[in-house]
Structure 1
Amino acid sequence: MIEVIEIPTGVGTFDALSCGEGGGREVMLLHGFPEAAIEWEFQLGALGNGGCHVVAPDQRGYSSGVRPGNVADYRVEELVGDVAAIADELGWERFDLVGHDWGAYVGWAAAASMPERIRTWTAVSLPHPAAFLRALTEDEDQAQRSAYFATLRRPRVAERVLLANDAAALRQIFEWKVPEERVEDYIHRLTQPEALTAALNWYRAMHLAEPTGPVSVPTLYVWSTEDSTVGSTAALGTEQHVTGPYRFEMLEDISHWIPEQAPEALTRLIMEHLLAHRI
């Protein structure tokens, strides 16, 4: 059974979803934009009922108890610190980490900076940041796919654009690939006071990030051919930034929203990755 829990840390209290008994293999799931921990509902149930202890937090800005107002508070170093603080509170010395979209951005940095704590790393959709940055500067296709960043980083303007006409632009982000009731849940969350600004501050803090180094932990990267935000150049370039065991899986005819559009396929890949690396 999936439970709603709260995780107190030094920076505030994170809302989270949990499934599985304590003592099971520890797995943390990090959601992306503009979503929340509930995007992992299928994976929580499958992994939690399969012998794992799985926790998916609503990350900084998405949890009302951890919603600082300064852009600098959303630097990747702070977000990685949240991952470590949540694991500490859960009593997890080592754990498996899975991240989608912005959750993958955080996960890549966490896997690179604290390999002693992360047993395995699974990135969904977003490639290694160094591969993404190179593609962004050298590949016209990726530059076009990422052109929306400029709008989302504009203070107040992005909020106005996304919420106009009953949040029409925010709904369109999901490309009609995510169940309507789930989209309504996300929009409800992001229309709470300061919630959307906090989520957008992840984009606004991008330029403050330190470069992400190579990843040495066992890594699975899952990319989909119909991802409108990440092209093949960045996806295929990710291997150059992983020094440990690496597996790349490409899902055909699936959009950016892999955890919800292809939950069975993704969960199978995650399970295979965990079973392949029991250390």
Structure 2
Amino acid sequence: MERCQNDGLTFDVHDGGPSDGEPVVLLHGFPQDASAFDRMAPLLHAAGLRTLALDQRGYSPGARPPGRSAYRLRAVTGDVLALLDAAGLERAHVVGHDWGGAVAWALGAWHPDRVRTLTSLSTPHPAAVGRAVLTSDQGLRSSYMALFQLPVLPERLLLAGDGRALRGVLENGGLPPDVVERYVSRMREPGALSSALAWYRAVPLAARDTVGEVTVPTLHVWSTGDTFLGRAATERTRDHVTGPYRLEVLEDVPHWIPELAAERTADMVAAHVRGAS
């Protein structure tokens, strides 16, 4: 597969590995794209798995609708269901990082019949994050999200001086220079950053899209070097999973787990998939 469609939008799909392998959907976050899994995917292929990495809504050039309501969690999870349908897959293993992790949690709660296993990299269960915002330092860690919900200003700040601020955030997070330049270049495409930020601007609409308990086998991978998502929400995530659950902690790894801990993460995902077979 190279593309799929949903809601009149066209999404880029990176399909790799053995065609008869267990299918694993890979969902990136902000401000990445499917290339976030460029190091992980070949390792999953070597383990006999097929990967379908989706350039999500707002990131695929053919899928940048206007307005924040188009980026509600119900809408973006629908894109993944459309991917599964287009691939002829009844179910798949779902791996998500950052915002992709939020999508993975929603899929596991709302569509357990389509999710074989769930793996969330960095991102705790949304309900656990909401609770931690009120009771821990998570509110401070998430304060940038309030800025991102403002109109126009975030684009000007992040892209000023050829993307100096955005580049600095990614570099300080330990991403390699070539990866930083790829993400910054992508966000400088016309309309790209505004579409990516629409995920944040849709947050006030989240009350309509409550994510409940997850029953599918779940792996949560969190890293102690994550400046955006803290331990409190991570530890509360177990309370929102009624199926088999395992937490793995990566010491001293920054937020960007798919790029910076690809080998260890691929091993954990492959073992998680095998354990559900």
Q: TM-score range by the shorter chain?
A: over 0.9
Supply the distance in 1 between the matched residues of 2:7 and 2:75 (Cα, whole angstroms).
12
Q: Kindly state the Cα deviation for residue 10 of structure 1 after the two structures are TM-superposed.
A: 4.1
Q: Percent identity?
A: 45
Q: Which of 91, 97, 100 is the equivalent residue of 1:100? A: 97
2:221 is aligned to 222
Q: Give the count of matched residue pairs.
A: 274
SS at match of 1:121: strand
Q: Quick check: 1:152 aligned with 2:151?
A: no
Asked whether the 8 Å contact 2:47–2:270 carries over to 1, the reply is no
Asked whether the 8 Å contact 1:18–1:44 carries over to 2, the reply is no
Asked whether the 8 Å contact 2:218–2:243 carries over to 1, the reply is yes
2:238 is aligned to 239
Q: Deviations over 1:130-185 (max 9, x none)?
A: 0000001222x111111111111111000001001221211122224111111111
Supply the distance in 2 between the matched residues of 1:21 and 1:234 (Cα, whole angstroms).
36
Q: Please, which runs of 5 or more residues in structure 1 have no aligned partner?
A: none
Asked whether the 8 Å contact 2:173–2:256 carries over to 1, the reply is no
Q: Kindly state the Cα deviation for residue 276 of structure 1 after the two structures are TM-superposed.
A: 0.8
* Bigger mean CA offset, 53-62 vs 16-25: 16-25
Q: Which of 26, 30, 36 is the equivalent residue of 1:29? A: 26
- TM-score between both structures, scaled by the size of structure 1: 0.96
Runs of 4+ in 1 over 4 A off after TM superposition: none
SS at match of 1:220: strand
1:254 is aligned to 253
Asked whether the 8 Å contact 1:5–1:16 carries over to 2, the reply is yes
SS at match of 2:66: coil
Q: Please, which runs of 5 or more residues in structure 2 have no aligned partner?
A: none
SS at match of 1:216: coil
Q: Kindly state the Cα deviation for residue 50 of structure 1 after the two structures are TM-superposed.
A: 2.4
Task: Give the letter aligned to residue 258 of structure 2.
Answer: P
Q: Kindly state the Cα deviation for residue 49 of structure 1 after the two structures are TM-superposed.
A: 3.0
* Bigger mean CA offset, 22-31 vs 214-223: 22-31
Q: Quick check: 1:266 aligned with 2:262?
A: no
Task: Give the letter aligned to residue 100 of structure 2.
Answer: G
Give the CA RMSD over aligned residues. Answer: 1.1
Asked whether the 8 Å contact 1:9–1:89 carries over to 2, the reply is no
Task: Give the letter aligned to residue 52 of structure 2.
Answer: V
The 5 A counterparts of 1:127-206 are 127-139=124-136, 141-174=137-170, 175-206=172-203
Asked whether the 8 Å contact 1:142–1:230 carries over to 2, the reply is yes
